[in-house]
Amino acid sequence: MSTLAAASCETNPASAETPEKKPLKPCCACPETKKVRDACIIEKGEEHCRDLIEAHKECMRALGFKV
C-alpha cells in the first residue's frame, strides 16, 4: 500500500474530536482479508484464490458495502 493510501486510511487525531464520524472508505475496509487476497492473486492468479476473494467480499458486505 502506498504511503498516501495508508495515510488516507488512518484517523486524524484532530478529526476524532468531532462528533461526526467519516464513513469508512472501501480501500480501508477489511485490511486483513484484502492483504491475503491480494498476495494470493499476485502469486497464483484469481482462479486459485476464489475462497479468499469470497472471504473478502463477505467482510465488505458485513461492513455495509455492496459487492
Written as one string, the DSSP assignment of 10-67 is SPPTTGGGSSSPPPPPGGGS-HHHHHHHHHHHHHH-GGG-HHHHHHHHHHHHHTT---
As a whole number, mean pLDDT of residues 13-17 equals 46
The pLDDT value recorded for residue 21 is 82
pLDDT of residue 5: 47
Provide the pLDDT for residue 19.
Answer: 58
Q: What is the pLDDT of residue 40?
A: 98
Higher pLDDT, 39 or 21: 39
Q: What does the block give as the cell for 67?
A: 459487492
Q: How far apart are CA 12 and CA 28, in angstroms?
A: 14
pLDDT value for 9: 59
Res. 14: pLDDT tops 90: no
CA dihedral for 56, 61, 65, 67, sign (positive or negative): positive
